[in-house]
Chain A
Amino acid sequence: MRVGVVTFPGTLDDRDAARAVRAAGGEAISLWHGDADLKSVDAVILPGGFSYGDYLRAGAISRFAPVMDLIIEKAKEGMPVLGICNGFQVLCESHLLPGALTRNSDLHFLCRDQKISIENISTPWTNTFTKGQEIVIPLKNGEGSFQCNDETLTQLENNGEIIARYVGQNPNGSRNLIAGITNTKGNVVGLMPHPEHAISALTGPTADGLGFFTSILSAMVK
């Protein structure tokens, strides 16, 4: 089971994402933004950070990296893709996911342990959770406010495409407390908080995040 982890210039969380894949029992394959080669991976993770310095808009330039052309093509064919934080922003800019991530409503960079509830457990990235399960993983970003028009929001709600919501007070002004969404096919998932930083009690607030990585492995074995 080969899970690609993409590194753009400015990516921060690629090592933790690769470590999480290994902790779940998978093989983490490093993918470089400039390579037009997916190295036969079965799934791809776009990790967090500030790819291309967030110049222009978060994710706007990364979307045009050579490796993204292949990822966009494969994602449309059904390959599982998980974008975490900056990766989520890249997926929105690539139009693989609807909506966009904008500045937190209070304009502050937030870094804290955040409770979220898992709402959709039928994606390859969430299948080891139970519906409504509440988990705690780190949230750390400045542009985490999920925004979209009313029509898109209705569609996300009606199709069960919201995979995770913030529990309690809205941390960043995201519409309908959205912390993560999936596409209509269910193979592409974007998540604002960071499961890869919460895979063991030694290095994270919980081990709750590991579920996203065991999910992809179990999805691939099926």
Chain B
Amino acid sequence: MLKPEILDPQGNAVAAALPRLGFTFAKSVRQGKRFEIEIDGQPTPAQLAEVEKAAEVLLSNPVIENYVVRVEN
């Protein structure tokens, strides 16, 4: 996700489109990105650490984005 202080024109465009369709619930919208990474079996702590590293080095740009790594079955 873009950090809160970084301008998000895509999120703003979505926020402007929602009320045009009758959806009036949104105070604001931020748009982000999600990567689904498949591995064999349950991740080991070492594998999770590798994923964290990849998230920081390649998948996100820590200058403007935050990321969260989550394990799902």
Contact = CB atoms under 8 A, between A and B. Distances in A.
Interface in A18-64: 56-57, 60-61, 64
B46 interface: no
Contacts of A64: 58
Main secondary structure of the interface of A (DSSP, over half): loop
Contacts, number: 42
A99 interface: yes
B11 to A, nearest CB: 10
A149 interface: yes
A106 B13 CA distance: 9
B66 interface: no
Interface residues of A, number: 23
A103 B10 contact: yes
A100 B63 CA distance: 7
B59 interface: yes
A200 interface: no
B13 A107 contact: yes
Contact of A105 (B9, B58, B61, B64): B9
A150 B5 contact: yes
B8 to A, nearest CB: 8
Given A56-B58, A60-B58, A106 B64 contact: no
A149 B7 contact: no
Contacts of B58: 56, 60-61, 64
B37 interface: no
Contacts of B59: 56
Interface string B47-65: 0000000000011010110
A64 B59 CA distance: 13
B16 to A, nearest CB: 11
Q: 3 closest Cβ contacts across the A-B interface? A: A100-B64, A100-B63, A103-B9
12 contacts: A60-B58, A98-B63, A100-B61, A102-B7, A103-B10, A107-B9, A107-B10, A145-B9, A147-B64, A148-B63, A149-B5, A173-B7
Given A93-B61, A100-B64, A150-B5, 10 more contacts: A92-B63, A95-B63, A102-B7, A102-B64, A106-B9, A107-B13, A145-B9, A147-B64, A149-B5, A173-B9
